[in-house]
Each structure stands twice: as C-alpha cells, then as structure tokens.
C-alpha cells in the first residue's frame, strides 16, 4: 500500500461516462479484498457514479480527494 | 412459426410522452375550428376580435372548471413563461422582504434557472434542499429552510419530471407569508392540484395532449403577485402579447377530455409502468429509480451499470422504441442529470420511459422482450 492508502490508481483522465466506471468494474479485482482502488477522473458524472457503483456492487465508497494535478480522485475499498 | 422475412416492421412506439405527445383527438377539431375563427386580437373591438374574445373566454372557463379554480385565476401563456412569471411574480411582490428563494434540488431546470437569475439580480441566495433516495423532499426541513427572514418565495413541484416521484405539497406548512409556487408542468391532467395552500402554479399542455407551445399560469385570488418582467404589473395572457386563442382552446378541450378518461387511461398506464419496472428490476446491475408507488402513473426511469445512455437510446430506437435518457452523453453538456445526481442514482446508462394515452399492452409486451436483449447485447460489448 502506498503512503496515501491507495493500492491501485486508475488514470481515467480524459474519459467520459461510463468509461471511468467500466475501468473500475474491470480492474478493482487487481487489489485484494480490503484493498483500496482510486479512480482519477475529470468526468463530472464520476462523482455520482463511483458511489453508485459501490452501492450496487456491494463495495465501500471511501471518499473524494484530488490528485496532485487537481483532478478529482475517488477512492473505493474492495469488500467482495 | 417464424415471421416471414418480408413481414413489415412493427410501428415505431413513442415512449417519450413527457417530452411531447400527439395532440389529443378531442383537441384536433377544436384547434382547426379555432384557427379558422379565432385568428384576431381578442382585445380588439371589431367583430373578429369579439369572436376571438368569446373563444378565449370559453377556453378559460373550461380550464378553470376542470381545475376547480375561478376564471380570474387562469392565464394562458407559453410553458416557460408560466414557470418564470408564476414563481418570480411571487418573489417580485415580496422584493422588500428579500430575495432568498427555497426549493428542492430536483426542481425542473426552468425553475432552478429562474431562481438563480432572480437571486443574482436582487442580491439573494437560492437554498436548494436535498432529497431522499427516491427524490422526495423532507417537508419539515423545507419549512425550516423557509423560516428565516428574507425568504421571498418557495417552489415545490407536484411530481418530478424525470423520476416520477410525487412531492408532499399538501403536507408542507410554510411559515406565514411565504408564498408557494407549484410546478405542475409534468403532472397537470394526471395529478390534481394540491388541496392545501399554494399561491401560483404552472402547467404545460403537453402533459395532457394540448399543443406544445401552450402553458397555464395559475395565480390564486388574493395572492400578492407582481409581474417580474417589463410590462403591466397584473397577470396577463402571454405577458400582454397577442394571445394564442387556438392553442388555448385546444388545451381546454384536451384537458377536459383527458380528465374525463383519466381513471381508465391512468389505471392502464400505471399497470403498464409496473410491468416495465418489474422487468427492469430483473436486469442485472440495473437500478430502477424513483418511488415505486407514489409517482406519476405513466413514467419510469432506470439506470444500467456500464452502459451509455446514448447507446441504449440508439439501440431501442433501432428496435422501434423512442425513449429518453438523463445521462450526460445524451445531453448537450457533460453534466449528468441534476435530478439523478441529487438522488445519488447511477447517472450513466439511464433510460426514461413515459407512456402516452395511446400506448398499448402489446407495445409494452414487445418492449419487455426487446429491453433485456438490448441490455445483454450492449453489456457483452463492454465485456462486463
């Protein structure tokens, strides 16, 4: 795990919905259960859709912060 | 038996009634006759003007009777103007009190834009209240938000235009003096106006099969209302411009016919929407949005994980169904629907279906076969 608690960061800059969530759906299994995946995306829909994905897929939405370049980053803990 | 290869494709089914419906048959003849006889300025004193005045008065009488209002509470104007003047006329009459406005986050864009414009112009603030998972506002929190000094007016829709959830307008007890604007643009003809206290309301003839350019501005007797725009301070048809007599008559005829047949038509539409909701709920990774019971009878919204709203609209259109979507990729901006976002509902892969009076059981049965196929095909392309 890196110092900021993120095990895997998915660079979804420049992607439009639903691509960031597709990326999350495809790659979240690369971290073990209990690990944290983060989606970095400019797409404004990601702010709603990442938490919605967590709810629908039984995962935990951890919260939002920003990447060093100011782009929003949404963190998810893998529960299943 | 397989269909013959040259069998005609089934007719295209319009499932976007919220955005436009065919003119109600009862309005067709009336519209033609009104265009023939009601072309003059109803304010003119000559014969054709008096004819037009008679027709317009008749339309007003019919609408007032249908809605349980008096004639002097009903004005014909464009749908957008009805919303803007209806809401802001209440705020304008209380401009000395302040320019704070209170509304839920799920109001129609026209209400939100009007509120922001007024607040910016008058140095006020728009207070947008959160809603629960089905899109309903909390009346206690709403009343509390309207309590501080400086609140000029509040707005609450009768039902949501995107997810169908009704709002508890009759349960709202606003502080004394704060007037309520009710946006009934997506629901009049289907839902009754609130029984409780409201000051002004707006209706859109599309929601009951009138012509799309016709709206209703309803201002209750005794309400403090002042025109927020240039012109006469009192309410007027079309803000004082030449009234659309034919549109008013068509709206009146369509409203009367819609209310006469409402019980049967809306029971059928409710049953068909229940059927679509049930099928959508069985689709994998799909969430059906909005209140399952206290809702508009003819509208259903659901979102499919990993799919784009644009692809769903395109594929359903190819299969013969015209549907709407609140997903960002189907709008002119990158912003997803503010309604879906306020509910915390998935904004991509969104499909919004609204049934007109003409949609049949057979149409919906065919949809319930096509929809799972389309979703499965698009999902297989994504590989999830």
The interface pTM score, or ipTM, of the predicted complex is: 0.94
Tell me which residue has tokens 């725009």: B229
* pLDDT for B133 beyond 60: yes
The single residue of A8, A17, A31, A67 carrying the catalytic annotation is A17
For the question of residue A17 being annotated catalytic, the response is: yes
- Per domain, the residue ranges of chain B are 13-22+262-382, 25-256
Please tell me the distance from the alpha carbon of residue B250 to that of residue B252, in angstroms, as a whole number: 5
> What is the DSSP secondary structure assignment for residue B235, as one 8-state letter?
-
Mean pLDDT of B197-214: 96
For chain B, say whether A79 makes contact (Cβ under 8 Å): no
Closest CA to B137 of B110, B166, B162, B114: B166
Q: Which residues contact B125 (CB under 8 A, 6 or more apart)?
A: B99, B100, B101, B119
Please tell me the distance from the alpha carbon of residue B340 to that of residue B350, in angstroms, as a whole number: 9
| Pairing of the two strands B100-104 and B126-129 | parallel
DSSP bridge pairs for B75: B217
A 38-67: CB under 8 A from B: 43-45, 47-49, 51-53, 55-57
| Pairing of the two strands A60-66 and A36-40 | unpaired
Q: A14 pLDDT band (50/70/90 cuts)?
A: very high
Task: Report the SS3 class of residue A44.
Answer: coil
Task: Report the SS3 class of residue A20.
Answer: helix
What domain range is A36 assigned to?
A: 8-77
Closest CA to B248 of B38, B85, B36, B25: B38
Q: Which residues contact A60 (CB under 8 A, 6 or more apart)?
A: A54, A76, A77, A79
Looking at every residue in chain B, the average pLDDT score rounds to 95
Task: Report the SS3 class of residue B33.
Answer: helix
Tell me which residue has tokens 């007797």: B221
C-alpha R_g of chain B: 22
CB pairs under 8 A between A and B: 68
Number of domains in chain A: 1
pLDDT in tens, A34-54: 999 999 999 999 999 999 999
* pLDDT for A1 beyond 50: no
Report yes or no on A3 lying in a domain.
no
pLDDT in tens, B308-353: 999 999 999 999 999 999 987 767 677 899 999 999 999 999 999 9
pLDDT at position B160 is 97
> What is the DSSP secondary structure assignment for residue B297, as one 8-state letter?
T
pLDDT in tens, B29-52: 999 999 999 999 999 999 999 999
The encoded tokens of residue B25 equal 């048959």
Report yes or no on A18 lying in a domain.
yes
Mean pLDDT of A13-40: 96
CATH number, domain containing residue A39 = 3.30.110.40
| A-interface mutation test, from B135, B280, B346, most A Cβ less than 10 A away | B346
Please tell me the distance from the alpha carbon of residue A17 to that of residue A39, in angstroms, as a whole number: 12
Report yes or no on A26 lying in a domain.
yes
Report yes or no on A2 lying in a domain.
no
The reported pTM is: 0.95
pLDDT in tens, B137-166: 999 999 999 999 999 999 999 999 999 999
Share of chain B above pLDDT 70, in %: 97
Closest CA to B177 of B83, B93, B89, B73: B93
Closest CA to B117 of B104, B101, B98, B137: B101
Q: Which residues contact A20 (CB under 8 A, 6 or more apart)?
A: A10, A12, A39, A41, A43, A46, A49, A50
At the topology level of CATH, where does B25-256 sit? 3.40.640
Does CATH place domain B13-22+262-382 in 3.90.1150.10? Answer: yes
Report yes or no on A51 lying in a domain.
yes
The encoded tokens of residue B258 equal 């819609």
> What is the DSSP secondary structure assignment for residue B18, as one 8-state letter?
G
Kindly list the residues from chain B whose CB atom is less than 8 angstroms away from the CB atom of residue A43.
328, 334
Find the helix or strand (DSSP H, E) in which A61 lies.
Answer: strand A60-66
């Amino acid at each position: 795990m890196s110092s900021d608690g993120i095990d895997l960061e998915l660079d979804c800059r420049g992607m439009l919905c639903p691509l960031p969530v597709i990326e999350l759906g495809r790659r979240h299994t690369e971290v073990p259960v209990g690990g944290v995946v983060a989606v970095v995306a400019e797409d404004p829909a990601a702010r709603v859709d990442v938490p919605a994905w967590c709810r629908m897929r039984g995962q935990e939405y951890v919260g939002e912060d920003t990447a060093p370049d100011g782009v929003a980053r949404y963190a998810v803990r893998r529960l299943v | 038996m397989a269909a013959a290869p040259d069998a005609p494709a089934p007719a295209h089914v319009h499932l976007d009634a919220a955005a436009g419906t065919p003119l109600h048959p009862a309005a067709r003849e009336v519209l033609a006759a009104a265009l023939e006889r009601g072309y003059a300025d109803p304010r003119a004193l000559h014969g054709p003007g008096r004819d037009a005045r008679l027709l317009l008065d008749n339309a007003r009488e019919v609408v007032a009777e249908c809605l349980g209002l008096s004639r002097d509470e009903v004005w014909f104007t464009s749908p957008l103007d009805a919303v803007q003047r209806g809401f802001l006329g209440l705020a304008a009459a209380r401009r000395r009190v302040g320019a704070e406005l209170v509304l839920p986050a799920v109001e129609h864009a026209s209400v939100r834009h009007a509120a922001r414009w007024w607040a910016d112009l008058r140095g006020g603030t728009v207070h947008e209240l959160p809603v629960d998972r089905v899109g309903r506002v909390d009346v206690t929190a709403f009343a509390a938000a309207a309590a501080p000094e400086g609140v000029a007016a509040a707005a609450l829709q009768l039902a949501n235009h995107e997810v169908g959830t009704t709002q508890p307008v009759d349960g709202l007890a606003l502080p004394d003096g704060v007037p309520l604007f009710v946006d009934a643009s997506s629901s009049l003809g289907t839902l009754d106006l609130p029984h409780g206290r409201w000051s002004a309301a707006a209706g859109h003839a599309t929601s009951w099969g009138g012509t799309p350019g016709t709206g209703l501005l309803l201002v209750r007797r005794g309400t403090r209302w002042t025109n927020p725009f240039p012109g006469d301070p009192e309410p007027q048809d079309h803000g004082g411009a030449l009234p659309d007599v034919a549109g008013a008559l068509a709206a009146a005829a369509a409203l009367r016919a819609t209310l006469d047949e409402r019980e049967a038509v809306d029971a059928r539409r409710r049953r068909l929407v229940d059927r679509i909701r049930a099928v959508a709920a069985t689709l994998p990774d799909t969430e059906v949005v909005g209140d399952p019971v206290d809702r508009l009878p003819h509208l259903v919204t659901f979102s499919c994980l990993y799919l784009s709203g644009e692809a769903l609209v395109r594929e359903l259109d190819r299969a013969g169904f015209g549907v709407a979507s609140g997903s960002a990729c189907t709008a002119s901006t990158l912003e997803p629907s503010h309604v879906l976002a306020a509910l915390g509902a998935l904004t991509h892969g969104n499909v919004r279906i609204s049934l007109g009076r003409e949609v049949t059981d057979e149409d919906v049965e065919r949809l319930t076969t096509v929809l799972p196929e389309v979703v499965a095909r698009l999902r297989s392309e994504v590989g999830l």
